[in-house]
Amino acid sequence: MNILVVEDEPELASALVRGLEEEQFCVQLCGDGRAALQKSEVGNFDLILLDVMLPDLNGFEVVEQLRLRSGETLVLMLTARDSL
């Protein structure tokens, strides 16, 4: 399974990538919304783990753009927010 992790906090990103790779997943990492959209165009990802609060484009904007393109990739959004 190919997974794109989109997380701008280095420690959390590293922990996510390490844990997923230990479970034998193929993982790529990027740290902002624009990079996520660029990688999603050229990569064949089964899942995108997407932080909500990102530099440039936030996670909601990234999902909106992904859905306009194809709508096929599964997205799991991660957030540290404590309210809507």
Tell me, what's the pLDDT at 83? 62
> Does 28 fall in a domain?
yes
* Tally of domains in the chain: 1
User: Does 35 map to a domain?
Assistant: yes
Instruction: Give the chain's length.
Output: 84
CB 48 within 8 Å of CB 66: yes
Q: What would the pLDDT profile of 9-65 be if each residue is shown by its tens digit? A: 999 999 999 999 999 999 999 999 999 999 999 888 999 999 999 988 999 999 999
Q: State which residues form the domain around 23.
A: 2-78
Helix (H, G, I), strand (E, B) or coil at 81: coil
- In this prediction, residue 29 carries a pLDDT of 98
